[in-house]
Amino acid sequence: MKEKEEENIISMYPEEQKQLDKEWYKSIPAQVFLNYFFAINYHLDHYEGMGLQQLAYFKDVPAELPEEDVEAIKKLLLNSWNTEYALRTTAELGDENYIRNALHWTFPQAYYAVFASLQAFLYTRQIKTSNESLVMREAGRLIVKNAYPQAMSFYASGHFDDFRINRLPLAHYKPGLQIAGKELEAQSQIGQFLKTTRRMKAKSVRQQVQANPNTAIRSSRTGEVLQKFGPQHWQQLTWRMGYTTLFDLLARLRISNSHREIERFVQADIDFRLFHESLLQIVSYLNGIHECYVAQAMSLQQYEAFVQELPAYLQNSFVAARLQDKVKPLLQDDEQQLRTAA
């Protein structure tokens, strides 16, 4: 039906415009996806709010880590940095066409680079799991508990089609199809992204629950597994969803390279370099936060020693740059404040 409507609209234009407009329609889903991630990056870069150094959660330093935990965290960080290294290498190697076709691996790379550093952060809080659902649920709780800078502490909650967007005061505005150039546009697009992602998440949970005879919601009248859900049925699933956060938005990047969805992106007429740059900056932002938490838990001295021992290809790289630009200034300032208070 949707394709039919598009064809009808296109037929209203002159013949020489048909192919151009058809290509434009094909590009809309990819353009919207680009808009979403550009909006996230814009918001992270422009929103003025509390940073890590101002958060009570960051100031609550965890107990000293045992050696086996430190080694496990190092492995997780190395996984994250290797994946981020591969993501960065794509931009250095290729032109627009190369980056376009690299979406097959750069999309999941962006997600898993952050996922591994998130695991490392959780490990410092004695949450030791590789179960994706558990990791994402804990990440959601941490966002709600203000463990992250205010700029990325937005989230969606609530029942199906009764979603609430939290900590994005401008999210209620209608999003446009343009690249965000104002905070209002960025927040409205992020709000829409949160809603569509939470809706997809709710439907996925429903499918899993209803496919299991032991968990399926049944008709109170017939006892049969429900095929149609009303508001009261959706409400029974909300607790299973947790909160929908920036990490869930990144999880949308896990598009299988055998899935036709990735081909739709590859064939679209969008700015692929801008897309890649947006993803890379979001990854760097999130990984930098997790690295600050890890360095704090390990001790800055031990973290620095670890960075200096990295493989040659990671020496003097983005890892060392974030250490100098983000981690050291934050932790040294934190230590100075503690000494002053003492």
Each of the 342 residues of the chain gets a pLDDT tens digit; together they read 434 433 343 333 344 344 445 554 567 888 999 999 999 999 999 999 999 999 999 999 999 999 999 999 999 999 999 999 999 999 888 788 899 999 889 999 999 999 999 999 999 999 999 999 999 999 999 999 999 999 999 999 999 989 999 999 999 999 988 999 999 999 999 999 999 999 999 999 999 999 999 999 999 889 999 999 999 999 998 888 999 999 999 999 987 555 667 888 888 889 999 999 999 999 999 999 999 999 999 999 999 999 999 999 999 999 999 999 999 999 997 665 544 444
Reported pTM: 0.89
How many angstroms separate the CA atoms of 177 and 163, rounded? 22
Longest dimension (CA), the chain: 78
Beta strands in the chain (DSSP E): 155-159, 162-166
Nearest to 283 by CA among 36, 34, 44, 104: 44
Residue 77's nearest CA partner among 323, 331, 335, 246 is 323
Closest CA to 25 of 50, 7, 52: 7
- Characterize the bridge pairing of strands 155-159 and 162-166: antiparallel
Is there a contact between 200 and 160 (Cβ–Cβ < 8 Å)?
Answer: no
- CA distance linking residue 255 with residue 134, whole number of Å: 20
